Structure 1
Amino acid sequence: MIRDAAREFTMKEVLPVANALDGPDAEIPMSLRDKMAEMGYFGITIPEEYGGLGLGIFEYCLICEQLSRGWMSVASIVARAQGGWIMKSMPEEMRREYLPRVVRGEFLNASALSEPDTGSDLASISCRAELDGDEWVLTGNKYWCTFADGADYLIVFARTSAPPSPDKRWEGISCFMIEKQRGGFPPGMTGSPIPKIGYFGWKTFELALDGVRVPKRNLMGPEGKAFLLMAKGLEGARAHTAARAIGLAQGALEDAVAYSLERRQFGMPIAEYQAIRFKIATMATEIEAARQLLYFVCNEIDSGRRCDKEASMVKYFASEMAERVTSQALQIFGGAGYTKLFPVERYWRDARLTKIFEGTSEIQQRIIANSLLGKSEVEGMIAGRAFGGQVRQSKEAA
């Protein structure tokens, strides 16, 4: 019932908006966001005592798969709620203050983790935070911060102390909540949109922080331990990305099936030709395989069992599958698929991104391999070199 309701909402409310607006200057309409709030989609995993639905990662991914079948950006804005950072790190009085606003879609976040020179190696961030009386002062640059302008608050990772050793480079990184007005940036921060080939509906920014002041109470979690705070949410985040990839692939498959039954060549629908039939059979099989792996991972997460390896597997498998399936769907459309006349090109563009964000396919393979084989000596060498670079930077800064 949850899945079917989400599909009905997507086909009626999300897909028409995506087909009409998708493009570099598109913005997810506030009217659509209000309808999503009415459906409870901003509070799927927030406990009922705060106004949420009190459901698990399984239901969260069921819904987000369907939303992605319409527009991946809509399934992604759902993740800007759920109270993730607040529920992980804030005291009860702050949860009661903020979470009901999250559920209503009135307090959505954007996360600033990556930097111009730091992507997968987040332990090497250089953005700094220094305590000045009752405020933290943040200085540095951030990259790939989607929804930075439209969010109600930013989550910024910054280094508050030097790491103690190469194998503990993650220590000394802290997490800060910066409240702001929608449509702009807080004092001391500027943002420049990054031109993208997809993931439309909102903008992605490079941010410059020059003395951004944050109240002391807005330090989220223990000082210097934010990397662990982030790592605890990776399983759910990667399952969410897999769900989005599956939704894109499902949309491409359904559209390709419909088109193949309508498009006639040499006197018959192209669905009659074995080449097309086999493409569709393979596409459907790969989607279902990814979906069943996702269900397993979601069940493990909701049961409280560790599944970092399996979460990486489903994120890797589903995103790679989505690129293949959407590409094959575009091929079935032929020249029509390479136009803006059909949404298959949107599924194709957005599917390509799922192989990059929330950890690239190569990072997922590294995690899986390390789980099976242990960490390689090369990783230790890389960590040592990065640590040495940080020491040099710290000395130069001093």
Structure 2
Amino acid sequence: MAQAARLRYRHTARVTDDLLAPPIPVLTAPHDTPERRALQEQAREFAMRRVLPVADELDPRKGEIPRSLLDEMGELGYFGITVGTEYGGLGLGAFEYCMVAEELARAWMSVGSIIARAQGAGTNVADADRRAELLRRSARGAWIGAIALSEPEAGSDLAAVETRAVRDGDEFVITGRKRWTGNAKAADFIQVLVRTDDPEPGEKRSAGLATVVVEKPRDSFPAGLTGSPIDKIGYHGFVTWDLEFDGLRVPVSEQLGAGGEGFADAQRWLNIARVHTAARAVGLARAAVEDCIVYLQQRRQFEHPIGDFQAVRFTLATMAARVEQARSFYQHVAHRLDQGEPCEREAAMAKLVATEMAAEVTADGIQLHGGNGYTTEHQVERHWRDARLTTIFEGTSEIQKKIIADRLLPRSPLG
């Protein structure tokens, strides 16, 4: 199988070496610091030398990210970018988190995604000692989780969550179904959005939602939880699950934050998640541009490299310009998040712009590869499959437009 995978990407070894040559994306003031440049260069080197060959081998057969690669990422600190130094993390912000995610996603989007399953996720429990222990585990990559928000009837509408957590003494008994839970079986924990109470008359539909952490052994499900893999067309590297909770018992102490704030917690988390998605989308689009630069010099027609033809050159130039524009936008929003601004509208804008751009730019990359782009012999088809998903998860493009419009133009009371 490994030999077959290498044959499918028969240009990979040559391309990998060439792709270390393009300049590192520019960090403009006030974002440019020697520390950030060093982190960015390290992440690009790791992505191209270590992640890309693994992606080329495993993605064609829908393989999972190897534990050995996750361990290397843990040693580099990528699971604790936003975790405080007192817990062993890098103590950095959303800007650096997204910057590293872009570099990793350029090689394989699932690797740019898996770092979101740490960063102190699932650690906001009431007990201070327990919280400190989980933060230390998170920082070193020993507390990698899964996020269970969506349900068959509650995807974009999280206020409609029906999965129940009924208190029984010092435990919650969880019953219901979750969908689109990536990394669920391989994870150390699953962070589950549940309903503990029904809203009272006059309350918002989101009242009574809470977030509970289910700690579990890696590569198995605990009693009371089963799952079925969802067969995706892309976004390989970890398995996405449809989960069934049937009387799963969890200590009440594993509830995150104050009671009844589950929906608000999810919304706050989604702001950073959407900028993170924008960064991943930029990484995928940049991959298409960089792959095309190499391919357009190699592929010859009419006794010329096809990169000599003006129509092709103009397409490439437009692709590259759109990538730079989206990168500048997401970095600006990440910086504002680090300044403590809520940026709900701006995060939605960054995700909308970057993900739609990535879907179009990676499609242009297939076009520039011609018939070869519609094969599995080149990486550009993987970039397109993965980029297409970015317009859907963490809120579809239509949901982002709704968020933006609702903050720009409040609805009439009579509407």
TM-score bracket, normalised by the shorter chain, equals over 0.9
Matching residue of 1:387: none
Contact 2:126 / 2:253 at 8 angstroms: preserved in 1?
Answer: no
User: Partner letter of residue 115 of structure 2?
Assistant: V
Native 8 Å contact 2:121 2:145 kept in 1: no
Matched, 1:212 2:248: yes
Mapped partners of 1:339, 1:294: distance in 2: 32
Task: Tell me the secondary structure at the aligned position of residue 282 of structure 1.
Answer: helix
Contact conserved, 1:144 with 1:205, CA < 8 A, in 2? yes
2:99 matched to which residue of 1?
Answer: 62
1:90 Cα offset (Å): 4.2
Does 1:130 pair with 2:166?
yes
Q: Deviations over 1:315-349 (max 9, x none)?
A: 00000000000000011111111111111111000
1:97-108 equivalences under 5 Å are 97-108=133-144
Identity percentage of aligned residues: 52
Which residue, out of 174, 177, 181, partners 1:141?
Answer: 177
Matched, 1:18 2:55: yes
Cα distance in 2, alignment partners of residues 193 and 24 from structure 1: 15
Say yes or no: does 1:197 pair with 2:233.
yes
The aligned counterpart of 1:392 is none
Matched, 1:162 2:198: yes
Q: CA separation in 2, counterparts of 1:211 and 1:257?
A: 54
Which residue of structure 2 aligns with residue 84 of structure 1?
121
Alpha-carbon spacing, 1:367–1:275, altered in 2? closer, same or farther (3 Å): same
How is 1:307-318 mapped onto 2 (pairs within 5 angstroms)? 307-318=343-354
Structure 1 residue 163: Cα displacement:
1.3
Cα deviation, residue 165, structure 1: 4.2
The answer for the alignment partner of 2:323 in structure 1 is 287
Q: TM-score, normalized by length of structure 2? A: 0.89
1:345 aligns with 2:342: no
- Listed as ranges, the gaps of 5+ residues in structure 2 are 1-37
Query: For 1:172, which of 190, 200, 208 is the aligned residue?
Result: 208
Q: Matches of 1:284 and 1:343 in 2, distance apart?
A: 18
Counterpart residue number, 2:157: 121
Do structure 1's residue 270 and structure 2's residue 333 form an aligned pair?
no
Identify the residue that residue 86 of structure 2 maps to in structure 1: 49
1:75 aligns with 2:112: yes
How far the C-alpha of 1:164 sits from its partner, in A, is 2.3
Q: Deviations over 1:245-295 (max 9, x none)?
A: 000000110001110111100110111111111110110111011011011
Taking structure 1 as reference, are residues 339 and 142 closer, same or farther at Cα in structure 2, changes over 3 Å only?
same
Is the contact made by 1:370 and 1:376 (CA closer than 8 Å) also made in structure 2? no
Question: 2:305 is matched by which residue type in structure 1?
Answer: P
Q: How far apart, in 2, do the equivalents of 1:335 and 1:256 lie?
A: 14
| Equivalences for residues 291-306 of structure 1 within 5 A | 291-306=327-342
Q: Give, as a single letter, the amino acid of the residue that structure 1 aligns with 2:95.
A: F
- The structure with the largest helix share of the pair is 1
Q: Offset at 1:84?
A: 2.8
Are 2:182 and 2:238, in contact at CA under 8 Å, matched by a contact in 1? yes
Q: What is the letter of the counterpart of residue 378 of structure 2?
A: F
TM-score by length of 1: 0.93
How far is the alpha carbon of 1:121 from its aligned partner?
Answer: 0.2
